[in-house]
Amino acid sequence: MWNRFLCPSVTFATTVWEKDWRQVLLDPEYLPVRQIQNHCFPFVEKLLVINNVDDVAAVKKAALRWVDAGVLTKVVVAAEIADEMLSFFQWKLSDFCNDWIYYNALGPLAAIYCCEGDYLLYLTGDVYLAEPLSWIAPALKKMEKNPLYRVANPVWNQNYKEVKRESYRRTGSFYAAKSGFSDQLFLMKKELLRQPIYGEIRADSAHFPRGDVFEKRVFSYLKNRGWERIIYRHGSYIHENF
């Protein structure tokens, strides 16, 4: 029987950049309700990564208000830890083809680097749940019981038919897929991500846009080991480009 008192700990993390920080940090409900509360899970910590903004001081001031309110527990400026973080993950600046790929990786890498929970729930600033969805506890149960299941997420953007088509079987409240990863939202064990695995790029990962981005590298890492993705089939997250 699944014991909620022995449930692995989970860190919530999201990131903001110049085009979405106002939506995430100034809207009174967006961060506390749509991004955090609607996951219906007692996160061990709630982390915000500030990445690629014009006025770091202004964004940090807005973020720290949520720390004072008890909504966030930690705020990290990615640029301030970039050198030590890239060294930890065995990446060099020359590994990034352009600034876009660099900043695209910096957000999730900072969340992984600073994560204290057993698992990391990471979502970009333009991702949220419109309604409460109790998906994390059953996802943890599945991943703890079956070592093939290494990443989990709800359906994306109401695309239930697409998810069913991309999966090979149904298992309880989830679909299982032989491959797949998105940096929009993922739940993964921290120890799997805190490895020097970001140089793995498969030939069949070319469907990821804009070059050798973070999600292409994690996709390759997972698929190289035959690990699978589970998708909670009773609810969807929303991704909007702000």
Express each pLDDT in 170-200 by its tens digit: 999 999 999 999 999 999 999 999 998 898 8
| CA–CA separation, 80 and 76 (whole Å) | 8
Q: Can you tell me which residue has the tokens 């990443």?
A: 151
Is residue 1 assigned to a domain? Answer: no
Is residue 188 assigned to a domain? Answer: yes
Q: How much is the average pLDDT of 151-168?
A: 95
DSSP string for 208-226: SSSSS-HHHHHHHHHHHTT
Q: How much is the average pLDDT of 15-36?
A: 97
Number of domains making up the chain = 1
pLDDT of 207 reads 80
Is residue 163 assigned to a domain? Answer: yes
14 CA to centre of own chain: 7
Yes or no: say if 41 and 139 are a contact pair by the CB < 8 Å rule.
Answer: no
pLDDT of 4 reads 53
41 phi and psi angles, rounded to 5 deg:
-145, 140
Q: How much is the average pLDDT of 221-226?
A: 95
Yes or no: say if 139 and 174 are a contact pair by the CB < 8 Å rule.
Answer: yes
Is residue 3 assigned to a domain? Answer: no
**DSSP bridge partners of 74:** 47
pLDDT of 11 reads 98
Residues 6+ apart with CB under 8 A from 23: 30, 125, 126, 242
The count of C-alpha atoms lying within 13 angstroms of the C-alpha of 81, restricted to the half-sphere facing its C-beta, is 19
Q: Give 38-95 pLDDT, tens digit per residue.
A: 999 999 999 999 999 999 999 999 999 999 999 999 999 999 999 999 999 998 888 8
3-class state of residue 79 by DSSP: helix
What is the three-state SS of 179-217?
CCCCCCEEEEEHHHHCCCCCCCCCHHHCCCCCCCCHHHH
Yes or no: say if 222 and 151 are a contact pair by the CB < 8 Å rule.
Answer: yes
| CA–CA separation, 29 and 52 (whole Å) | 23
Counting every residue, how long is the chain? 242
> DSSP code of 158?
T
| CA–CA separation, 55 and 7 (whole Å) | 39
Is residue 45 assigned to a domain? Answer: yes
pLDDT of 141 reads 97
Residue 2 pLDDT > 50: no
Is residue 4 assigned to a domain? Answer: no
pLDDT of 5 reads 52
Please report, for the domain that includes residue 93, its CATH number.
3.90.550.10
pLDDT of 199 reads 87
Could you tell me the pTM of the whole model?
0.95
pLDDT of 3 reads 55
119: containing domain:
9-239
Question: What average pLDDT does the structure give for the chain?
Answer: 94
Q: Give 97-126 pLDDT, tens digit per residue.
A: 889 989 999 999 999 999 999 999 999 999
Residues 6+ apart with CB under 8 A from 67: 73, 74, 75
Is residue 13 assigned to a domain? Answer: yes
Is residue 127 assigned to a domain? Answer: yes
Yes or no: say if 173 and 227 are a contact pair by the CB < 8 Å rule.
Answer: no
